[in-house]
Chains A and B, each alone.
Chain A
Amino acid sequence: MTSLHKPGAATGPRTDRPRRRRVGTGGRRGVPLPLLLPGLLALAFLLLPLVALLIRAPWRSLPGRLSSTEVWQALQLSLVSATAATAVSLVLGVPLAWLLARTDFPGRGLVRALVTLPLVLPPVVGGVALLLALGRNGVIGKWLDAWFGITLPFTTAGVVIAEAFVAMPFLVISVEGTLRAADPRFEEAATTLGASRFTAFRRVTLPLIAPGIAAGAVLAWARALGEFGATITFAGNFPGRTQTMPLAVYLALQNDPDAAVSLSLVLLTVSIAVLAGLRDRWMTTS
């Protein structure tokens, strides 16, 4: 449907100009200048800071800096906690996305808006909110502490929670979008053939939306890996336990900018490797 609309809408406003330009730039690769220039500017804007990071990197002292145990601890913790946060997001987020896409209940619009709130909330606010909810003196945390002796702040579990809080909306939005685009008739056919609704979800819907789930998971993982504000507010900063790479970068910046650049470079490399490796495979197939 939407693909039928696009050509009409696109040619509409261009009718007075297109012929000359198309002839000028030649055939299929007609790129209008008003699109090309801002597009290239955007590309430069997004890439320039990263290039600057590469230029200013203290390459000579890099191996020495990166071989310190603290860096490896932080990197390891970052990778482990981001993966755990993604797992939490998958287990809880996919069902939530299904509820939002396939069921109808009063206030669904509001729930959808609230789900996306962590996307726009300043991460520090998210961290404070988590403290007030799950902290030792928090609304729920008080009982966790009293009944089970569990306190989440200052623990690795706290890091995972902070990251999942910020990253899960990415997964939910992505999966919900895929679910809406997927044809519900397959599920209906399965249920008329005798499958329960959960079986239909498991055997029919889940394989159908797998690329969307994978794309959402990659996004959530990348967001979790870069999470800073909520983590330092809720989980604190202790090397080996709650100090992830972004925290290490921030604190290194206070007295050793070169170290911060080196750490940033590691985080950048890991992020690019994962995004490039997974994006082509998963994100375009949906």
Chain B
Amino acid sequence: MTRSVRRTRRMLQVAGAGAAALMALSACSSSSTSSDSSATKSDKSSSASPKLSGDVTVFAAASLKESFSTLGKEFEKQHPGTHVNFNFGGSDSLAASITGGAPADVFAAASPKTMKIVTDKKDATGTPAVFVRNQLEIATVPGNPHKVASLKDLTKPGLKIVLCDKTVPCGAAAQKALDASHLKLTPASYEQDVKGALNKVELKEADAAVVYKTDVKSAGGKVEGVEFPESAKAINDYPIVLLKNAPNAGTAKAFIALVQSAEGQNVLSGAGFLKP
């Protein structure tokens, strides 16, 4: 039993590495095209200051893992001598660590609500900037055997649906979309985070789940995505901010600039994020 767990875990790792590699490739190919359009102010400043060094610690929402890892490597390549450390996790717990005094430079949250925890405690400098948005999508088992084509189809009897719990951003967004279309849905489970919901579909324990577009994309072929128009009413903003007690503010600023640059945006939209 444990061996099979290990095997799937390894498979997941391999899949994750593959996805990261793909994104890195897409980032490379797009960087050539983006160079002409990247005449934004922020991008200039990042390349204009040549003497960047040291470690930057970035606390980022778990959903940013693949794209931010790619951007981190890109940043280190552009600025030799720098090193980007990531702490990926639930935005709530990251915010709690930051307000608890964790030595971080940058915070990228999956919702304005979680960002507010940090800004309310005056742990951020300036106002957080929304750098991407994430839209919901229905994830079904491959082949979509139950022919789920809309949010309403999820309310069909006999279907096993999982949602995120209403306390976490993806669950709140799903509830918003359901409410906006006056649909009532009784799921088999309210999962503790979006990956938990996605996993239940990947393992075929649930027939469908409401997750983010980026999650469907990162799952590769293990789930099938079904877009639904109501998701437009529940789009999540992702804010990023420089933290007040940042040990390496200068380099941290440059990383934020990279995230907001055309190049960074290309990597992020490659992962399924929407432009702000």
- A interface residues, Cβ below 8 angstroms from B: 117, 121, 125, 128-129, 131-133, 135-137, 153-154, 232-233, 235-239, 242-243, 247, 250-256
Chain B positions within 8 Å of A137 at CB level? 203-205
Selecting from B72-80, B161-169, B229-237, B252-260, the interface stretch reads: B161-169
Can you list 15 pairs linking A and B with CB atoms under 8 Å apart?
Answer: A129-B5, A131-B203, A132-B4, A136-B160, A137-B203, A137-B205, A153-B188, A154-B188, A235-B189, A238-B187, A238-B188, A247-B192, A253-B92, A254-B165, A254-B168
A131-B4 Cα distance, complex, nearest whole Å: 11
Residue of B whose beta carbon sits closest to that of A233: B196
Determine whether the beta carbon of A131 is less than 8 Å from that of B205. Answer: yes
Q: In the complex the two chains form, is A250's CB within 8 Å of B192's CB?
A: yes
Q: A125-B5, A128-B5, A154-B160 are in contact. Are A136 and B204 (CB under 8 A)?
A: yes
6 A-B pairs with the lowest CB-CB distances in the bound complex, closest first:
A236-B189, A254-B167, A154-B188, A137-B204, A255-B167, A129-B1
> Size class of B's contact patch?
20 to 34
Question: B162 is contacted by which of A121, A236, A250, A256 (Cβ under 8 Å)?
Answer: A236
Determine whether the beta carbon of B1 is less than 8 Å from that of A132.
yes
> Is B8 interfacial (CB 8 A cutoff)?
yes
Cβ–Cβ contact A232 & B188, under 8 A: no
What is the bound-complex CA distance between A236 and B204, given in angstroms?
A: 14
Residues of A within 8 A of B90 (CB): 254
Verify A238–B190 contact, CB threshold 8 A: yes
Known pairs A131-B205, A132-B8, A133-B1; list 13 more (Cβ under 8 Å): A125-B5, A132-B5, A132-B203, A137-B203, A235-B189, A236-B188, A237-B190, A238-B187, A238-B188, A238-B189, A251-B167, A251-B168, A251-B192
Docked Cα-Cα span, A274 to B92, in Å, equals: 33
A232:B192 contact, CB within 8 angstroms: yes
Contacts of A154 in B (CB 8 A): 160, 188-189, 205
Which residues from B are CB-within-8-Å of A235?
189
Question: Are B162 and A251 in contact (CB-based, < 8 A)?
Answer: no
Q: Residues of A contacting B263 with CB < 8 Å?
A: none
Per-position contact with A for B164-191: 1 when CB-CB < 8 Å, else 0? 0101100000000000000000011111
Of A125, A131, A135, A242, the contact of B189 (CB 8 Å cutoff):
A242
In the assembled complex, the CB of B113 is this many whole angstroms from the nearest CB of chain A, namely 8
Asked if B35 is an interface residue, CB under 8 A from chain A, the answer is no
Closest to B141 in A: A137
Q: Across the two chains, which residue of chain A brings its CB closest to B187?
A: A238
Closest Cβ of chain B to A208, distance in Å, is 34
Distance of A227 from chain B, by nearest CB (Å):
14
Shortest CB–CB separation between residue B187 and chain A, in angstroms? 7
Chain A residues near B133: list those with CB within 8 A.
none
A256 to B160, CA, bound (A): 29
Cα–Cα, bound, A125→B5 (Å) = 8
Q: B261 → chain A, closest Cβ, in Å?
A: 32
Measured CB to CB, the closest approach of chain A to B206, in angstroms, equals: 8
Query: How far, in whole Å, are A117 and B2 apart by their CA atoms in the complex?
Result: 10
| Closest A residue by C-beta to B189 | A236
Q: Do B2 and A129 have beta carbons less than 8 Å apart?
A: yes
**Interface pair B8/A232, CB less than 8 Å apart:** no
